[in-house]
């Protein structure tokens, strides 16, 4: 029962925090070799905690890198939802150490904030899921849903072994939806819920023309200058309205529903905020979409880098033999990063003269992810947030990309709920913290979520 | 009389060469401080030689750098042409010394080639002018034209003090035309004559948008990416026909006459040669003009450098705060480099949004120069070359720029004849040489020229 679970959580708040202190004291920095034993120690500590609360099949599973901790509780039966919870127990390095007001691995509470490396990203948010499950199991000896938990130890170094792990354990990880708390909400007074992430196709291309740099006094006017050619290609990528001109680029883009556009309009993000952050006055881009839509719900094509010829002081009169650019395209559902890369290449190739060469490098391929705003998962999460925070959440899309979300959605067929409980929290910086009330309300929100998801309210 | 002058030259060929040997033995390298005394020694040696042949007002004139040697013979009277002869007595350094087959400052003749640093560039070509004047004066005690001679000692370091010298000695240097031998002809069998040089306006611009690099996942699609903006500006500089689109760019361009186009068509430079030199198959550019015309007789606008954002290995997802480019425009008569720079700036500024900034740097301003192909000077020079080399010269334009030519033309109002007697000659490289027969025929050509210029043939 929901109420008994919440009571148990309330009665054990201090112990839950004390346990989190223990976990935060383990310096499980994934990028430093000297902390390798701490990684193992953190994984073992978490596994022990999970076993202690009644999770089953708990296992510290080796990968080619740091281990994944797995556990499940499947007693709700095959007809109940199965939730796959993801989090990570590794943390960022702590330098510069002298900017910390207290030691990064000796947690303390200052002004309602639990200060320590990993407090928010992601040990605090990860651990509240274990404590939500504990609250339900301890109070009821059963859960309204099945749960499977995976916590990885390589998120801060790019999760190199996570996708292979998911692909080779598809049966074990099979679930009806995913649940991740590794992000932020708008404010304590305004919960928010991300229901979509953009994907990415990051391309580099180099155009090669003459065999060597040519004297521009002797050959200028007779050679299609490769730097000019690269400029022509980039200029042709958008029309004056900011619409991407790569043929087929928008073909698979799922149109925004009126309901969704209404939700996005309610975002408290203002044009003044955009102005402060960019230092500019006037937004650019697709006229038919708001700035929020352009930056989170629409696919984009941006030049991230551009080069050719002489860049030093003064003057040099050459036609460069080659020039190039780095271009990243943010993708939305149902765009396919592989297909978009091919469309991009075809687009560029049309500009290349017969006697020139073009070389491509594909740097990043990431799928977009979307859990429909009217899905049962998103509605249940919104209801859980409103029940706990006293206000319905703002529904938001995230402009960036988190590869594991797309992997879970694509490989396991499970839509993912992104339930971030952080604020700014100085993550990746000195004096990282997690607001204590957010930890506590996070536990309560997850408890609500499981009952709502099971249709028990 | 022409014939007596030529006889004198023929009778003294060996002595003329012996004297050139003496000049070549002085290591007057202008870029090395330790050779400063040699610069002075070379200037004094030349002045002495000029006095010896009967030139008047010979003077080693100080500048803020190396001295200019001046001398004149003005006995032809105010109604005769006055020719200003320019040359330079300083030379390039000699490293790498071990690649020289003989010592750079100990001249020797190998297979008809006089080998030494400065043999062709420019001591040999400069000195043949003194010997042409000597031949006429010695044989006739007078010249058909007035001559003024200036030899500078800083050409190889960019002639920093020459324009100021010309500007402050306008009366002394007043002439009806200029004459320079500091270049090459097509081959021993095919003389050529450059009658035009292009000018230059070399511009750099930087576009600044957001106050700092922005995350392209968070702001992409809402900001006019400065790298894209620079690409848009560059792409707009030409139409698909290669015509420059800067308004007013062609307004002052002197149209090519049919006669001139006929001359340029006779150039032995072939498309196959262009293909070998560039490694490309198909020339680009203004369809209505030949490759020779595009590279020598038409103004151009070339990207020499281009940059913005991340250029390193891998990927970085930023919208760069700024981007820029270096653009050089080659100019032809009567384009004005200052005016063209302003037209360029106006063109660029039209693309800059209100809330962006653009910064310009002007690196080079050089005027174009042209001595009309049907001018008396060019016709006289062509006739002199034909008389000496047995074949009429190919009339050519030079795509590059030599600032002193424009200075003489513009400041003194004197059209300049570029009578280069060099071949490839390894100038600026080890084993520089000057073909002995070219030195001798050079003397004869200049003798012919003076008589033809004076209308005496």
Residue ranges with strand state E in B62-208: 68-73, 82-88, 108-110, 113-115, 146-152, 177-180, 192-197, 199-208
Calculate the dihedral angle through the C-alpha atoms of B344, B348, B354, B360, rounding to the nearest 10 degrees.
-70
Give me the percent of chain A exceeding a pLDDT of 90. Answer: 87
d(CA A297, CA A295): 6
- Say if residue B141 is in the same domain as residue B161: yes
Assess if residue A236 is contained within a domain. Answer: yes
In whole angstroms, how far apart are CA B302 and each of A103, A228, B399? 58, 8, 13
- Say if residue A311 is in the same domain as residue A420: no
Contact assignment for A320 to B304 by CB distance below 8 Å:
yes
For the segment B55-66, what is each residue's pLDDT rounded down to a tens digit? 999 999 999 999
**Which residues between 36 and 75 in chain B have a beta carbon less than 8 angstroms from any beta carbon of chain A?**
none
End of a domain among A366, A396, A421? A366
For the segment B176-235, what is each residue's pLDDT rounded down to a tens digit? 999 999 998 989 999 999 999 999 999 999 999 999 999 898 899 999 999 999 999 999
Nearest CB to A304; choose among B238, B303, B309: B309
Q: For residue A403, what pLDDT is reported?
A: 76
**Backbone angle region of A427, left / alpha / beta, with phi > 0 → left and psi within -120 to 50 → alpha:** beta
- Say if residue A27 is in the same domain as residue A59: yes
What confidence category does residue B317 fall into, taking pLDDT thresholds of 50, 70 and 90? confident
Of B267, B16, B245, B250, nearest to B129 by C-alpha is B16
What confidence category does residue B429 fall into, taking pLDDT thresholds of 50, 70 and 90? confident
Task: Find the closest chain B residue to A357 by CA distance.
Answer: B280
For the segment A65-89, what is each residue's pLDDT rounded down to a tens digit? 999 999 999 999 999 999 999 999 9
Contact assignment for B304 to A285 by CB distance below 8 Å:
no
Q: For residue B243, what pLDDT is reported?
A: 97
Element (H, E) at A60: strand A56-61
- Say if residue A108 is in the same domain as residue A123: yes
- pLDDT of A429 higher than 90: no
Q: For residue A266, what pLDDT is reported?
A: 86
- Say if residue B100 is in the same domain as residue B27: yes
d(CA A387, CA A191): 11
**Which residues between 103 and 142 in chain A have a beta carbon less than 8 angstroms from any beta carbon of chain B?**
none
Instruction: Say which CATH number the domain at A338 has.
Output: 3.30.70.360
Q: For residue B366, what pLDDT is reported?
A: 86
Query: Please, are residues A416 and A216 in contact by the beta-carbon 8 Å criterion?
Result: no
Q: Which of A206, A210, A216, A272 to mutate to test the interface with B (most CBs of B within 10 A)?
A: A216
Among the listed ranges A327-341, A414-428, B37-51, B440-454, which one has the minimum average pLDDT value?
A: A414-428
- Say if residue A373 is in the same domain as residue A412: yes
Nearest-CA distance from A239 to chain B in Å? 10
Average pLDDT over residues B286-311: 96
Q: What are phi and psi of B383, to 5 degrees?
A: -65, -40
Contact assignment for A222 to B274 by CB distance below 8 Å:
yes
Nearest CB to B218; choose among A279, A295, A325: A295
Nearest-CA distance from A230 to chain B in Å? 8
d(CA A403, CA A355): 39
- Say if residue B57 is in the same domain as residue B19: yes
Give me the domain span that covers residue A72: 2-197+368-453
Among the listed ranges A420-434, A435-449, B37-51, which one has the minimum average pLDDT value?
A: A420-434
Average pLDDT over residues A142-146: 98
- Say if residue A249 is in the same domain as residue A346: yes
Contact assignment for B216 to A364 by CB distance below 8 Å:
no
Q: What angle do CA B447, B450, B454 make, to 5 degrees?
A: 145
Q: For residue B393, what pLDDT is reported?
A: 96
Q: For residue A317, what pLDDT is reported?
A: 87
For the segment A329-388, what is each residue's pLDDT rounded down to a tens digit? 999 999 999 999 999 999 999 999 999 999 999 988 889 999 999 999 999 999 999 999
Q: For residue B218, what pLDDT is reported?
A: 87
Nearest-CA distance from A157 to chain B in Å? 15
Contact assignment for B225 to A302 by CB distance below 8 Å:
yes
Q: Which residues contact A60 (CB under 8 A, 6 or more apart)?
A: A40, A43, A44, A47, A67, A68, A69
Average pLDDT over residues A396-414: 87
Write out the DSSP string of A173-195: H--SEEEE--SB-SBTTB-EEEE
Q: Which residues contact A150 (CB under 8 A, 6 or more apart)?
A: A68, A69, A70, A84, A85, A86, A87, A173
- Say if residue A344 is in the same domain as residue A439: no
CB atoms within 10 A of CB A390: 10
Contact assignment for B305 to A282 by CB distance below 8 Å:
no
- Number of folded domains in chain A? 2
Q: For residue A157, what pLDDT is reported?
A: 85
- Say if residue B71 is in the same domain as residue B134: yes
Is residue A308 less than 8 Å (CB to CB) from chain B? yes
Name the token pair of A422.
């952080």
Instruction: Say which CATH number the domain at B375 has.
Output: 3.40.630.10
pTM of the prediction?
0.84
Q: Where are the alpha helices (DSSP H) in A306-426?
A: 337-349, 376-389, 403-412
d(CA B339, CA B243): 19
Average pLDDT over residues B117-127: 97
Collapsed DSSP state (helix, strand, coil) of residue B31? coil
Collapsed DSSP state (helix, strand, coil) of residue A357? strand
d(CA B135, CA B9): 5
Nearest CB to B304; choose among A284, A307, A316: A316
Query: For strand A416-418 and strand A177-180, is the pairing parallel, antiparallel, or unpaired?
Result: parallel
Q: For residue B229, what pLDDT is reported?
A: 98
End of a domain among A310, A339, A366? A366
Write out the DSSP string of A78-114: TTS-EEEEEEE--B----SGGG-SS-TTS-EEETTEE
Query: For strand A68-73 and strand A108-110, is the pairing parallel, antiparallel, or unpaired?
Result: unpaired
In whole angstroms, how far apart are CA B315 and each of A233, A303, A305, B99? 20, 11, 9, 45
Assess if residue A38 is contained within a domain. Answer: yes
- Say if residue A56 is in the same domain as residue A83: yes
- Residue B396, strand partner residues: B194
- The alpha carbons of chain A give a radius of gyration, in whole angstroms, of 25
Q: What angle do CA A320, B252, B352 make, to 5 degrees?
A: 55
Of A145, A149, A93, A166, nearest to A405 by C-alpha is A166
Name the token pair of B408.
């003489």
**Which residues between 190 and 229 in chain A have a beta carbon less than 8 angstroms from any beta carbon of chain B?**
198, 200, 202, 204, 209-212, 214-225, 227-228
- Say if residue A362 is in the same domain as residue A419: no
d(CA B262, CA B309): 48
Name the token pair of B274.
């262009």
d(CA B4, CA B293): 41
End of a domain among B320, B344, B365? B365
Q: For residue A399, what pLDDT is reported?
A: 82
Contact assignment for A309 to B304 by CB distance below 8 Å:
yes
């Amino acid at each position: 029962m929901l109420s008994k679970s919440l009571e148990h959580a309330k009665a054990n708040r201090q112990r839950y925090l004390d346990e989190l202190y223990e976990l935060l004291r383990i310096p499980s920095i994934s990028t430093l070799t000297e902390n390798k034993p701490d990684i193992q120690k953190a994984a073992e500590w978490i596994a022990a905690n999970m076993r202690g609360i009644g999770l089953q099949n708990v296992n510290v599973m080796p990968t080619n890198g740091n281990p994944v901790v797995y556990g499940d509780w499947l007693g709700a039966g095959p007809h109940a939802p199965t939730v796959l919870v993801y989090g990570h127990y590794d943390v960022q390095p702590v330098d510069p150490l002298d900017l910390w007001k207290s030691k990064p691995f000796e947690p303390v509470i200052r002004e309602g904030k639990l200060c320590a490396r990993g407090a928010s990203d992601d040990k605090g948010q990860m651990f509240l899921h274990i404590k939500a499950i504990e609250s339900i199991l301890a109070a009821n000896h059963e859960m309204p849903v099945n749960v499977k938990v995976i916590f990885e130890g390589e998120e801060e170094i790019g999760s190199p072994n996570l996708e292979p792990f998911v692909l080779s354990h598809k049966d074990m990880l099979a679930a009806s939806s995913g649940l991740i708390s590794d992000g932020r909400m708008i404010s304590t007074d305004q919960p928010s819920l991300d229901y979509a992430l953009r994907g990415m196709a990051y391309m580099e291309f180099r155009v090669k023309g003459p065999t060597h740099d040519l004297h521009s006094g002797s050959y200028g006017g007779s050679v299609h200058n490769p730097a000019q050619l690269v400029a022509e290609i980039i200029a042709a990528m958008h029309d004056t309205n900011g619409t991407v001109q790569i043929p087929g680029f928008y073909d698979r883009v799922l149109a925004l529903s009126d309901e969704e556009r209404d939700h996005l309009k309610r975002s408290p993000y203002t044009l003044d905020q955009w102005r402060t952050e960019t230092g500019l006055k006037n937004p650019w881009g697709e006229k038919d979409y708001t700035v929020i839509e352009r930056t989170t719900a629409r696919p984009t094509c941006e030049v991230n880098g551009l080069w050719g010829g002489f860049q030093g002081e003064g003057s040099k009169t050459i036609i460069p033999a080659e020039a190039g650019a780095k271009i990243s395209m943010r993708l939305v559902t149902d765009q396919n990063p592989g297909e978009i890369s091919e469309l991009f290449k075809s687009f560029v190739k049309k500009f290349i003269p017969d006697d020139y060469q073009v070389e491509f490098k594909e740097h990043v391929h990431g799928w977009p992810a979307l859990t429909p705003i009217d899905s049962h998962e998103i509605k249940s999460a919104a209801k859980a947030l409103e029940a706990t925070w006293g206000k319905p959440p703002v529904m938001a899309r995230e402009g960036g990309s988190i590869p594991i979300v797309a992997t879970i959605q694509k490989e396991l067929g499970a839509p993912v709920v992104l339930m971030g409980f952080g604020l700014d929290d100085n993550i990746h910086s000195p004096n990282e913290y997690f607001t204590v009330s957010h930890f506590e309300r996070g536990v309560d929100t997850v408890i609500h979520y499981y009952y709502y998801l099971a249709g028990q309210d």
